Amino acid sequence: MADTVDLFVIGGGSGGVRAARVAAEAGARVALAEEYRMGGTCVIRGCVPKKLMVYAADFSAAYQDAVGFGWDPVTPRFHWDRLIAAKDREIARLEGLYRKGLETAGVRIHDARAVLDGPNAVRLSSGERITARHILIATGGRPFKPDIPGAELAITSDDVFHLPGQPRRVVIQGGGYIACEFACIFNGLGSDVTLVHRRDELLRGFDRDLRAHLAAGMAARGIALCLRRNITAIARAGDALAVHLDDGGVLDADCVMMATGRVPNTAGLGLAEAGVVLAGNGAVEVDAYSHSSVPSIHAVGDVTDRLALTPVAIREGQALAETLFGPAPVRPDHALVATAVFTRPEIGTVGLTEDEAREEYDAVVYRAEFRPMLATLSGREERMLMKLVVDAASRRVLGCHIAGPAAAEMIQLAAVALKMGATKEDFDRTVAVHPTAAEELVTMRRPSG
């Protein structure tokens, strides 16, 4: 006879784990299945290991900058294997914490693949069948590779953390978060990097000034930007790879990385067979409360293709658990979500871009570009960008955009102000912290446009 639970979660990533814990703590009988490792994309093969590699890459610039501050020049040597081993130890530690948190909450964990067996049951790869009042799909996304000759010779962001050694020449296809971040990582670690992107600007959907500032900053650090180009084929060339472009050019590489987007990880889960409506890209279509077209089946996180950000998945998971097992429905709030891109220069952004604001408001823009203090003695040719987009009528700040050191840390606090409806005058009344880059956010007096 099949076991019965109140909630069965498919996927042990951030959203699924949060939903499972909150539901269990509310008294629900909860089970969770994860076929790979607990922690999902963010912990195992995304945000966390990537940020560790960002830190590693930053040390190359730190050694160079130190000379301008009186330190003797040194020629450090980077060891890829040491970084990967240290990264693996930290990921194992975090995975253990995720598992312990579930167990402490009373969640029954199944280290197995789970697929739907109708609207109220799942079948595990172990052969076990479990019935559930509610089923949550939290399987995240997976990398997409274009179908070109030699695509099997390229890696994705899932593979990069397991490379046996550091490639000397890296070609990356893409222009989004992942492509730009790994271009900067490999560049910082000393690899020769070429970024190939089919559009004429990076980071589609971001503020245009941020996009231009990032491209200039990456180029200044030695990353070759090959815009308005596509990779059409990859072939072996001895011990290396020949990367063919649509303009007839050929790039030599030791590693080719396809960072051409991610798609919802729904294939083979039995969703359509259970009556769940899917979007054209395979995403689970959900309402504002993360309910699918089948009343007993729900979905959160990247698998829904709403906002593919870890904190958003966590909020959605918590809201769903509270909706199903709490005193009242809770709707996750997707407005004014801040985000960061850990490139060099780093980007932090929240709210409307200048172009978006001008479509809806009589927008006024305040903009400051300057040399950060670190660059004054280091001699590094680097600029920082601060930008506030303001509604001229209400004076409410509609968007805040930052490029430069610590942009991610600053944007988190700026997001609080925007969420509260802060006006430009609220920013102006705030006394600056000096000397910091952040003080520019409260000292910009004259609009630039």
For residue 368, give Cα distances in angstroms to 106, 363, 376, 439, 447. Answer: 52, 17, 17, 11, 10
Q: For residues 181 and 50, give the distance between their C-alpha atoms in angstroms, rounded to a whole number.
A: 8
Amino acid (one-letter) located at 181: E
- Tell me the longest C-alpha to C-alpha distance in the chain: 74
Six token digits for residue 335: 């407005």
Q: Are 151 and 243 in contact (CB under 8 A)?
A: no
Q: For residues 38 and 63, give the distance between their C-alpha atoms in angstroms, rounded to a whole number.
A: 36
Q: Are 35 and 113 in contact (CB under 8 A)?
A: yes
Q: Are 4 and 134 in contact (CB under 8 A)?
A: no
Q: For residues 261 and 248, give the distance between their C-alpha atoms in angstroms, rounded to a whole number.
A: 24
Q: Is 291 an annotated catalytic residue?
A: no
Six token digits for residue 378: 């280091």
Q: For residues 54 and 177, give the distance between their C-alpha atoms in angstroms, rounded to a whole number.
A: 13
Q: Are 22 and 9 in contact (CB under 8 A)?
A: no
Catalytic residue, from 134, 162, 213, 434: name it.
434
Q: For residues 138 and 313, give the distance between their C-alpha atoms in angstroms, rounded to a whole number.
A: 9
Name residues whose C-beta falls within 8 Å of residue 332's C-beta, 6 or more positions apart in sequence: 288, 290, 312, 315, 316, 319
Counting beta carbons within 10 angstroms of the beta carbon of residue 223, is it exposed (0 to 12), middle (13 to 18) or buried (19 or more)?
buried
Which of 125, 70, 441 lies closest to 268, judged by CA? Answer: 125
Active site residues: 434
